[in-house]
Amino acid sequence: MMKPIFVYAIVTIVILFLLSRSSNKTEPDQIHNSHPTEQTVSEWEEEDEFNLKNKIVHIFPQIDVDPTDQFISVHELTQWNLHHHTQREMVIYDKDHDGFVSFSDLNSSITDDDSFGYDMRLLEEEHFNASDADGDGLLNFAELNDFLHSANSNSPKLQQRLCKEEVRESDMDRDGKVSFREFFLRLFHLVRKYDEENYIDPHHSDDSMDASAKLLFSQLDKDCDGFLSDTELLPVIGKLHPSEHYYATKQSENFISQAQDNKDGHLSLTEMIENAHILYAAIFPDEFF
């Protein structure tokens, strides 16, 4: 009985040994074959380049609408960015895909944090109601656009809300209004930053800064009570709270200045294709398309 068992054991060991040799021999080949060659990487890059150029060819006439003249302007690229940002948000928040967004649809993105002394949910509900122009409790596409880009809106309710927001952020003693000191520490510098590229001018003395701040404060303080209310901030709200349109325009100007060949302020389809990677972030944000 021992001899057959011994023979079987020897045969088993030999088979396992041969299998292990075979496995070790083929594994490097498999590993080697699993790595892409330089040619494969190049093919992938060419395919990506081809797909990106095809996207631009497809999307060009959708951007070139104001006017349709075979060129993309700063205005057209800006409008494209703003419109499609809102479109992406509508897709996210419109849970039942009926073309409307309710306040409850926005609940997941609103925090209950009251660490600043304010009920953020209540403030956002006020924001929602101010954006709901027809008062039906739902936001259509245009109203959602106002909700997301309040600084772009001409709605008096939304402009007033932005002013109240600036008062809340500047009102350190929580008395509901802005003193000169509170104005100088924050709001005055925001106005100067908007007006000048570099508002910290070494030639400006502390005295001249103080004088400029006092002059602007007195111009805004219509009731001369020594404080600024939210209504009194309306004349400078565009500087305190620059619109998304303002930033989108700056971004579009930057992209077009990098991509244009003849410096005419517009982009042809050829220029867009030749500079596809520069324009990628401007035209295809968040891989939406």
Secondary structure class of 287 (helix, strand, coil): helix
pLDDT for 112-123, tens place per residue? 555 455 677 888
pLDDT for 40-68, tens place per residue? 545 556 667 778 888 888 889 999 999 99
Closest Cα to residue 236, out of 194, 268, 281?
A: 194
**pLDDT for residue 167 is more than 80:** yes
pLDDT for 137-154, tens place per residue? 999 999 998 998 898 898
Provide the percentage of residues in the chain whose pLDDT is more than 90. 38
Predicted confidence at residue 220, as pLDDT, reads: 98
Predicted confidence at residue 4, as pLDDT, reads: 47
Beta bridge partners of residue 178, listed in sequence order: 228
Predicted confidence at residue 195, as pLDDT, reads: 85
Q: At what angle do helices 120-131 and 156-170 cross, to 10 degrees?
A: 160
CB 265 within 8 A of CB 256: yes
- Structure tokens given for 154: 């001409």
- Give the single-character DSSP code of 183: I
Where along the chain do its domains lie? 41-112+138-149+244-289, 151-242
**pLDDT for residue 126 is more than 60:** yes
The third-level CATH classification (topology) of the domain covering 151-242 is: Recoverin; domain 1 (1.10.238)
Instruction: Give first-to-last CA distance, the chain, whole Å.
Output: 74
Closest Cα to residue 146, out of 137, 134, 158, 138?
A: 158
pLDDT for 177-194, tens place per residue? 999 999 999 999 999 988
Predicted confidence at residue 247, as pLDDT, reads: 83
9-13, 74-78, 98-102, 189-193, range with the lowest pLDDT: 9-13
Provide the percentage of residues in the chain whose pLDDT is more than 70. 72
CB 276 within 8 A of CB 284: no
Predicted confidence at residue 11, as pLDDT, reads: 47
Predicted confidence at residue 109, as pLDDT, reads: 58
